[in-house]
Chains A and B, each alone.
Chain A
Amino acid sequence: MSQLDPLKSTIGGFAVHQACTRPDDVFCIFLALGGAVKEITYDELLSGALRYARTYDELQVPSGGVIIIILKHSLDLYFAFLGAILSQRIPSILAFPSIKQDPALYWRDHQQLFCRIGASVLVTYAENLPIISRKVGTLDLAVVTPEQVLSAEPRQPDQGCIDQIAFLQHSSGTTGLKKGVALSHGAVLRQVAAYNEVIRLGDGDRIVSWLPLYHDMGLIACFISPLVLGVPIVVMDPFEWSVDPLMLLDAMERYRGTHAWLPNFAFMHLARAASATDRRYRLEHVRAFINCSEPCKPESFDEFLRAFGEAGITADKLQVCYAMAETVFGVSQTALSEPARSVVADRGSLADGRFVPCPPSKSGRRLLSAGAPIPGVEVRVVSDDGRVLGEDEVGEVAVRGPFLFSGYFRQPEETAKKLRDGWYYTGDLGFSHSSECYVLGRKDDVLILNGRNYYAHDIEFFAAQVAGVKAGRVAAIDLFNRAQGSQEIVVLAETLLSDPSCCDPIIGAVRRHLMSALGTSVRVVLVPSGWIVKTTSGKMSRKENARKYLESTLPGMYEVL
C-alpha cells in the first residue's frame, strides 16, 4: 500500500503519487492483436493522461463537465479517463459497438444519452465521425480523437477534492435511459481500502484482465484499485479474448499473474477452450480467480478445477465476490485462505422463500457463498413489505456502507427509488447464512447475460419489431443452461405463421435484430398463437412463461430454482 492515506486523498492524488515515487515501474502491459506488447510506466500513464487533460482545457470544457469515452480497449482509454479526473472533469466510459451492432442505431441512441446528461465532450475515433454526422447530425458536444491528443503538452495535474464526483459508471438498459452511477473520490478510495483488507494485494502481485472498463469489475478491480495500490496490470481487449480465451492464461503464465476477476461464464469458457487443446499450463503462482458479476455456479468451479487442476489450480484459489457499481465495487467477498463455502438447498423451500438444507436423500440446488460483507458494509435482507428478514429467509438484498454512490447522475427520482434511508436496495434476491451472503438472482426483470444486465422489456420490445412476431406476445427470460454451462436469454415469441417450416428465417431475423440493436445474442423459441401466459389484467408474467417453457424442454437442460 502506498503511503498516501486513501481516506484523505483523491484518485488523482494517487496517480500523481505513483508517478513521483515509482516513475519507471511498469503499471500496465497491454497485449494487442497479433501479439504486440505495449508497456507503460506510472510516469507514462500520468503524462498520457495529462495530454488529454490539456486537450480538454483547450476545448474549454468546464470543471465538472462530463466526458464520454467510446474507444476500443487501448491505452488511450486509460489516458482519456484519468486525464478527465486529473483536470476535474467527470469521465464515463461506454461500450464500444461490436462489429455486429448497427452504427446508426447505436449513435442515435447515444445522442439521446449525451443530451440528457449534458455531456461536454465525446472521445472517439475520427473514423466514427462521418457516420455520426450522416445518421445523427451535429452532436451538441466537442469531439476529441486520440490523434489530436498526440501533439498536446501534458499540463499540471489538478488532484480535486475528496467529496467531488470522480466519474460515472453507466448501467445497462435502453441507452437513452441508462443511469449514470455517480461516485465520489472518497467513496472509491474507501472501497479500495476496505476491499483490500480482504484481498490483500501487495508486492509481487499482478492482475491479469480481459474485462471491459465500462463495467465496475474491469474499471475498479482491474484499473483504479491497482493504480491506487501500485499493483501492475496485464490487460487485453474483451472482443479478442472472447474468440481466444486462453490468451488470459497465457498472460497469467508468462507475466506471473496472481489475480483475475471473471464473470461466471468465463470459467466455463476457459475450461471448454482448454479441453480442446494440448497446451499445459503452470499456474501454481496464481493466488485467486474471483467469480463476480453473475450468479456464481459451483458447477462452473467444478469444471474449471477439472480443466486446470493439473496446472496447479486448487479449490482454495477459486473465490467469489458480490459487487455492484452503486457500492463502487465489492459488497462481500469469500476469504482467500480457504475454498468458497457452499450449501445444498432444498429446492421447494427456496421457492417458498426460505433456505433449508436439502436432506441427503433428495437432490437439492447447490449454492456458492459470496462470502462475508467486506469491512464497513452492512447487508440486510428485506421482504416485499419492507420487513427486515432473519437468517436463511429469502428477500431483497439491501446494503449500507461508507462507499455508497452519490446518486444517479441528474436522475433524483431514480435515485430516490433505490436509495432510501441510507440503504441501497439492490434488486437482488438472496439470503444470509452463517454471516455470509448467498445471492440467488434478480427480483425485478433484469436479465443477466455474460456479466451484463439487460431489461426484459427492452428485449421484448425489439423482438416484437420483427415481421412475423406478434406484437405484445413476447416474453424474455434468463435461464441457466446446464448443457452449455452458462446463462442464456430465451426469447419466447408468438408467431403469426402456421407453417413451422417457414419459421427459421424469423428466428434469424429476431437474433440479428437484437444483436444489431442491443449487441446481445439470445435463443429464440417460436411458440404458437395464444401460448404466452398473461394475467387477467393483461400483464406479462415472465415467471409463468419460464415455468411453461421449462415444462416443454428436456428435463435437466436448465437449472430450476
Chain B
Amino acid sequence: MSNEVVVTRLAEIIRDVFAVPEVAISDTTTAEDINGWDSLSHVMLIVAIEKQFGIRLRRAMLYELSNVGALAELIEEVSGGRQHEGESPEAS
C-alpha cells in the first residue's frame, strides 16, 4: 500500500468516526482540525483503524502523533511489517 492510498482510506475512516462527511483531510491534518477528535474519542478512531486495516496498534503512543501523515506512516509500517515477516499482529 502506498502512503497515498493509506491516507485516502484513513481520511474516510476519520470522516466516518467523527461524523464530518464534508471535511477536507490531507496528510497535514491534525486532531485539532476535526471537530470531535480529542484524546478520548481518539480511542474510537484507533479501534476503527485496527478493524479496517486488520492490524493492532500500540495505543499509548498514538495521540502524540503529529498528524494524519504520521499516523498513515505508522499504519503502513505495521501492516507492511506483518506482510513481510508473516507475524501475528502485536497486541497493545
Contacts and interface: CB of A to CB of B under 8 A. Distances in A.
Interface of A: 33-34, 98-100, 239-240, 242-245, 265, 269, 272-273, 276, 450, 483-484, 486, 504, 507-508, 511-512, 515, 521, 523-524
B47 interface: yes
Interface in B19-64: 19, 23-24, 30, 32-44, 47, 50-51, 59-60, 62-64
Which of B23, B39, B50: most chain A CB closer than 10 A? Answer: B39
Contacts of A524: 35
A245 B33 contact: no
Contacts of A515: 32
22 contacts: A33-B60, A34-B60, A239-B39, A240-B60, A242-B39, A242-B40, A242-B43, A243-B42, A243-B59, A244-B59, A244-B92, A265-B40, A269-B43, A272-B44, A484-B41, A504-B23, A508-B33, A511-B35, A512-B32, A515-B32, A521-B32, A523-B35
B43 A484 contact: no
A459 to B, nearest CB: 15
Interface size on B, as a range, is 20 to 34
Given A239-B39, A523-B36, A504 B59 contact: no
B78 to A, nearest CB: 17
Given A276-B47, A504-B23, A521 B39 contact: yes
The residue in B33, B40, B47 that gathers the most chain A C-beta atoms within 10 A of its C-beta is B40
Contacts of B40: 242, 265, 269, 450, 486
A450 B40 CA distance: 10
Nearest to B35: A523
Nearest to A98: B39
B35 A273 contact: no
Contacts of A265: 40
Contacts of B34: 508
A448 to B, nearest CB: 15
A508 B50 CA distance: 26
Nearest to A525: B35
B43 A243 contact: yes
Contact of B43 (A245, A450, A486, A504): A245
A472 to B, nearest CB: 23
A161 B28 CA distance: 57
A269 B59 CA distance: 14
A511 B33 contact: yes
Nearest to A239: B39
Nearest to B39: A242
A458 B3 CA distance: 40
A418 to B, nearest CB: 31
A276 B17 CA distance: 13
A547 B51 CA distance: 38
A99 B64 contact: yes
A484 B36 contact: yes
Which one of A34, A269, A276, A450 has the highest number of Cβ atoms from chain B below 10 Å of its Cβ? A276
Given A508-B34, A515-B32, A521-B37, 18 more contacts: A33-B60, A34-B60, A242-B43, A243-B39, A243-B59, A243-B62, A276-B43, A276-B50, A276-B51, A450-B40, A484-B36, A507-B33, A508-B30, A508-B32, A508-B33, A511-B35, A512-B32, A512-B33
A450 B38 CA distance: 11
Interface in B64-92: 64, 92
A515 B42 CA distance: 15
Nearest to B92: A244
A521 B41 CA distance: 11
A515 B63 CA distance: 14
A239 B38 CA distance: 12
A515 B44 CA distance: 20
Contacts of A272: 43-44
A400 B42 CA distance: 41
A183 to B, nearest CB: 30
Nearest to A100: B32
Nearest to A507: B35
B39 A504 contact: no
Nearest to B43: A273
A256 to B, nearest CB: 23
Q: Which of A265, A507, A511, A523 counts the most B-chain CB atoms under 10 A from its CB?
A: A511
A244 B60 contact: yes
A100 B67 CA distance: 12
Contact of A243 (B19, B35, B36, B63): B63
Contact of A504 (B19, B33, B41, B63): B33
A511 B32 contact: yes
For A265, A450, A515, A521, the residue with the greatest tally of chain B CB atoms inside 10 Å of its CB is: A521
Q: Which of B42, B59, B64 has the most CB of A within 10 A?
A: B59
A243 B58 CA distance: 10
A265 B37 CA distance: 15
Given A276-B47, A504-B24, A508-B33, A521 B60 contact: no
Contacts of A276: 43-44, 47, 50-51
A139 to B, nearest CB: 28
Contacts of B36: 484, 523
B74 to A, nearest CB: 14
Contacts of A239: 39
